[in-house]
Structure 1
């Protein structure tokens, strides 16, 4: 498992989540969820904040979870959230260009977590023994 990659994704996700919770426009504008003047409707901001807190919480979990099953579980939760976002936003955002961008961003973040989960997997048992010996 690439712990450093997973921790970095976690920190970035947590920071972004807190920022969107404070300023929903950070997610609303690129997603096309604004009015003709680029303003976020109150109802849209209200509905985006729980999504932002989910990201913040899952990011913190990835950043601080003990290495092993806890970190793996946190990362899998993040992957599910990102790929779920890709499916839902890809199917529901009103503008095709914005849908494609949202899908690309969501899949990209999910893929980073998947890469982190499988980093070092090719080393197998021999790699683990060698790493222990080097400590």
Structure 2
């Protein structure tokens, strides 16, 4: 398991989730869920926020989980979410944006799989305590 890569993927996922929670159009427009003028309906905004809040939670879990079973579990949940997104979006999005959305979801899932299956490289620095988020109170 490549801990540093899993942590970086977790941070990126959490940041993306926060960005889309604040501005759902960041996901809606490239996914074909906006009108022809690029406006996103309030119903769509409301529907996307819980989805990306899941990304915030999953990303933070990958960032903060102690090495070992907890980090592996967080990564597997992230992978299942990405591949689940690919399956659901691939069967429901407008045809014009479907392939791109599936490729992005599969790509993120594949990065997590690669990090999870990589030879054991830890992200710990000498003297650091496992399971602590960067900058967390000691």
Tell me the TM-score range normalised by the shorter chain.
0.7 to 0.9
Counterpart of 1:120 in 2: which secondary structure? coil
Report the counterpart of residue 83 of structure 1 in structure 2. Answer: 83
Report the Cα distance in structure 1 between the residues aligned to 2:96 and 2:119, rounded to whole angstroms.
Answer: 36
Counterparts of 2:92 and 2:10, CA distance in 1:
26
Residue of structure 2 equivalent to 1:107: 106
Q: Of the two, which has the highest radius of gyration?
A: 1
TM-score, normalised by the number of residues in structure 2: 0.85
* Structure holding more helix per residue: 1
TM-score (norm 1): 0.87
The DSSP-based 3-state class of the residue aligned with 2:66 is coil
> Match of 2:55?
55
Counterpart of 1:133 in structure 2 is: none
Distance 1:119 1:4 in 2: 11
Give the drift of 1:97.
3.3
Tell me, in whole angstroms, the C-alpha distance in 1 between the residues paired with 2:73 and 2:26.
28
Structure 1, unpaired ranges of 5+: 122-126, 128-135
Distance 1:24 1:61 in 2: 22
SS at match of 1:31: coil
Aligned-residue CA RMSD (Å): 1.2
Aligned length: 121
1:45 aligns with 2:30: no
What residue is the counterpart of 1:130 in the other structure? none
